[in-house]
Structure 1
C-alpha cells in the first residue's frame, strides 16, 4: 500500500472514531435508557462493522466516551481560564459538568457495572475532577473574584446536588438558575462581614 493510501486510511479511521464518540455522547445524553450499538453506528453515519472495529464491546465504547468526557472537563478548566475571568470560567465549567452528568444517563447501567468490576477507577476520576475545580478556584482566589474558604469538594458536592434535582431533560432552566445562585454564593462577601474561617 502506498504511503498516501496509508495516510488516507488512518485519517478515515480517526474520523470514524471521532464520529462514533460524538454520536455516542449525543445519544447517551439524550437517552433515558442505553441506546443500541446499531443506533449509535447509524447516528455516526457508519456501518455496525466499523463501530465494532473501533469498539469491540459496549464496555469499550462506554469507557472511551467516559474518558473523553473526563479529559474534556479536566483540560477544559485551563482552556476556559485562558478565555474568561475565573468566575465566568467556573460558571461555564459547571455547564460542562452538567453535560457530563447528562451523558452518563444513557450509559449508567454499563458504567456502574464497570466501576463495580474495577474497569473504571472512580477514585482516579474524582481526583482529576477535583483537580480541575481546584485550578479554577485558585485562579479565582488569586484574582479576588472567588471566596478563599471554599474547597473543590464543596463545589463537587453542590454540583451533584444540583444535577440530581435539576438534571433530567426539561429542567435546564432550573439547573441554570441554581448554578447562577451557587456562583453568587462563591463570590467574596461585599457586606463588610468577614468570611467564615475554615
Structure 2
C-alpha cells in the first residue's frame, strides 16, 4: 500500500474491514488454516483490494500488530489522564495481563508471522515502551514510584509474562508477578 496520500473513505473502510477480520482470525488461531486470498471474502472485499492494501500475509500481520499497539498505547494515555500516576501505571500493567490472557491466540499468531520482520516489531514495541515510559515518568515525578525505574525493564517483565502463557497457573502467577513488580516500584520505606 502506498503511504503518500490519504485513502478515500471507501478504501479506509475496506482496509479497516481487512484488519478487523484478520485480527478476529488471528485471535481464534485459525490463520494458518486459510489461504491468504480467503481474507478478502471474509472481510467482504475483492481479492484485488486485499493485495492493494496488503501484498503479503506479513504486511497484514504488521497492520494488525500496529493496530493492537495503538489500542494499548491509547489505553495507557487514557489511564494516565484519568487516574493518579501510580494507579494508572498499576492499572495499565494489569490491563496488559488481561489483554495477553484474552488475546493469546492473536499474540502467538502475530509473533509467528512477524518473526522475520524485526522493523515492524521494533517500531511497535518502541511506541508501547514510550507509553510505559510516560506512565513511569509521571509516577516518578509525583514521588509515587522510585525514580530509578527503567521502562525497558518493565517491558521485559511484560514480555516474560506473555512468553510464559502456556504455564498451567499462568493467570494467577501473572497477577502475582504484577503485584510484585508494582510493590517493587514503591519508594524505599513505603509500605504496600
Same fold by TM-score greater than 0.5: yes
Q: Secondary structure at the match of 1:52?
A: helix
Deviations 1:32-56 (A, max 9, x none): 7645235645654x14524334323
In the alignment, is the contact (CA less than 8 A) between 1:30 and 1:106 conserved in 2?
no
In the alignment, is the contact (CA less than 8 A) between 1:32 and 1:105 conserved in 2?
no
Q: What is the CA distance between 1:84 and its match in structure 2?
A: 2.0
Of 19, 27, 30, the residue aligned with 1:29 is 27
Q: Indicate how the Cα distance of structure 1 residues 143 and 48 shifts in structure 2: closer, same or farther if over 3 A, else same.
A: same
- What is the alpha-carbon distance in structure 1 between the residues aligned to residue 46 and residue 173 of structure 2? 38
In the alignment, is the contact (CA less than 8 A) between 1:35 and 1:106 conserved in 2?
no
Residues 68-77 or 52-61, more deviating: 68-77
Give 1:127-142 correspondences, 5 Å limit: 127-142=126-141
- Structure 1 counterpart of 2:62: 63
- Structure 2 counterpart of 1:54: 53
- Structure 2 counterpart of 1:4: none
- Structure 2 counterpart of 1:178: 177
* TM-score (normalised: structure 1): 0.70
* TM-score (normalised: structure 2): 0.71
Structure 2: gaps of 5 or more residues: 1-6
Q: Which has the higher Rg, Structure 1 or Structure 2?
A: 1
- Structure 2 counterpart of 1:20: 18
- Structure 2 counterpart of 1:73: 72
Q: What is the CA distance between 1:139 and its match in structure 2?
A: 0.9
- What is the alpha-carbon distance in structure 2 between the residues aligned to residue 165 and residue 27 of structure 1? 22
Count residues with an aligned counterpart.
179
Q: Indicate how the Cα distance of structure 1 residues 183 and 42 shifts in structure 2: closer, same or farther if over 3 A, else same.
A: farther
1:105 aligns with 2:108: yes
- What is the alpha-carbon distance in structure 2 between the residues aligned to residue 135 and residue 164 of structure 1? 24
Residues 65-74 or 97-106, more deviating: 97-106
